[in-house]
Each structure stands twice: as structure tokens, then as C-alpha cells.
Amino acid sequence: MVNTKVDLCGITLDNPIIPASGTFGFGYEFAELYDINVLGTFSFKGTTKEPRFGNPTPRIAECSSGMINAVGLQNPGVEKVISEELPKLKKCFDKKVMANVSGFSVDEYAYTCEKLDKCEQVGWLEVNISCPNVHGGGMSFGTDPEAAYEVTKAVKSVTKKPVILKLSPNVTDIVAIAKACEKGGADGISLINTMLGMRIDLNRKKPIIANKMGGFSGKAIFPVAVRMVYQVSSAVEVPVIGMGGVSCADDVIEMMLAGATAVEVGAQNLVDPFACKTIIEELPKAMEKYRIENLKDIIGAAHNG
């Protein structure tokens, strides 16, 4: 019998499958479709200090092998997430959840993380310094090693739970950013977030998205994600969570061979709300197909060839 358990920053997951932030809401919406306790865990909707309405519409543009979104971190703010969203989640999810945090200053990141760190339900803090859809925040911290270091250091100074930095692929040297986060005290690295993309309406002759550009995700970016996970996992000592275009059990195994300890599934949840459930069910069969008895044994195995 195969073993799908993995250890993420000291917490054991039944399997490595984690729905990515922004594609799974606060969980209880999907609990109406299936028992979400089958998941390893999930990363809930990106949360900021203050409520955010998000970007103007339209926010979504379809692509042949993915999608572009510019939602803009719409969320009710950390106070309401703690007082309203987490209690709803507790009724349908009995595992630790991953809190995804965004900000527009180092102080905002620290404030929001400190609040969520005190929540019993939260197991990890996934600090998003890579959102390409907001102005003056998010990705601006994830494209400069010094800024990434400062955010990491500030968050670690006010929290006790594992802090995982979510990085942007829209950089020249992803390894330099990852190493700066590790130097700042990061307990893990999460990558990749969306790439920066754009579509133009041929009839209107104008950008489809009101924000003009947005985050490009979906199957098309999978090879880029695998490459960056491979590079970063060989350069840092902390665990890596891989994501970007993952849509099936084979993708999960490939991502883990590249060096991922756990794997997030993003855009595929928007195409098929049962995507993560299906991947979890198919994973043991895929492991048997590739003669894998224990998933832990293949983490980073592609580095040995």
C-alpha cells in the first residue's frame, strides 16, 4: 500500500495536495460539493489588513491554455476573516488551514500575520509577496531581494507559526529572492504565483481586462513552475511548495521530483471544482504506475540524475 503522507514545516499532511489561495475561497463554499477534509490542507483567500473591493471589472480573460485574472485581492479584511470566515470554516474542516496574507507595506504584512498567527485553526502563514494584480504592493516586495528579506524578517518577529513566502516568477533571478527570504527566517518557499499576461479584444481594440494586465495561470505555465521549483529547492534548505499549472496526479509527481514537498492546485479548481478531490483519488494509482511506495522518498529525486 502506498504512503501519500508528507511533512510540511513540522505538520503532517495526509497528502501533498493544497488548493491555492484565490481559487478555493474560504473552503466552506467547496464543502457544499465534497468533504474537503480529504485535502492535505488549503490556502484560503488572500487576506489584507483592511477590506478590499478589488479591481474594476472585467477581471478575467480566457486563454487557450489558461486564464488571466486581475481580481485585486478582494477580501473582507483580517478582522472579519477571523470573526466570520474562520468560524464558518471550522464547521466543515477539522485540519489546520494555511492563511494567505498580502500587504502594501512591511507593517501591514506584520500586522495581519500577527493577528492570524493567534488563530488556533491556522497552521501556516503563506505570505504573498508576488501578486501582480495590485498597484503599490504585493509583487513590488517580491522582485527585490532586500525587500523580500525585510518582509520576511518583520513577519517572523511577530509570529510563532511556520512562515512560507510566496514568490513571483516575474523576476530575473528567482533563486536570489528565495535565498533572501531564507536569510530573513522563512520556514518555507511557495512558488510560483501567476505570470504577468495580457489579452486584447480585437473588436474593441482595447485590453480585455480593466486593469490592462493580470496574472496568467493555467496549464501553459507548468514547465516554468517546474523549472523554478527545481532551481530554488536546490538552493535553499527549507521546504518548497510547488504550484503553477498543476492539473493531474502526474503533475504532482513531476513537481515533487523537481523538489516540492507539497503541491498547490490553482486555476484547475476554477475549471473543475472537483479537481483536487480527483487528483487525491488518482495519486495512489499514479504512484503504483511509477513504482513509488512513499511520496517522501521522491522529493527532489530529479536532482540526483
CA-only gyration radius of the chain, Å: 18
CA distance 305 to 301: 8
Q: Which residue has the cell 488549503?
A: 42
- Strands (E) across 73-209 are located at 97-101, 122-128, 163-166, 188-191, 195-197, 200-201, 206-207
Is 63 labeled as catalytic in the residue annotation?
Answer: no
Contacts of 104 (CB under 8 A, 6+ apart): 48, 134, 136, 137, 138
Q: Cβ-count burial of 193 within 10 angstroms (0-12 exposed, 13-18 middle, 19+ buried)?
A: buried
The active-site residue out of 9, 92, 113, 131 is 131
CA distance 7 to 274: 24
Q: At what angle do helices 145-156 and 106-117 cross, to 10 degrees?
A: 30
Contact 255, 277 (CB under 8 A): no
The amino acid sitting at 9 is C
Contacts of 38 (CB under 8 A, 6+ apart): 14, 15, 277, 280
Three-class secondary structure of residue 214 per DSSP = strand
Contact 172, 188 (CB under 8 A): no
The cell for 75 is: 477580501
CA distance 217 to 95: 27
CA distance 241 to 257: 12
Element (H, E) at 217: strand 214-217
Residues labelled catalytic: 131
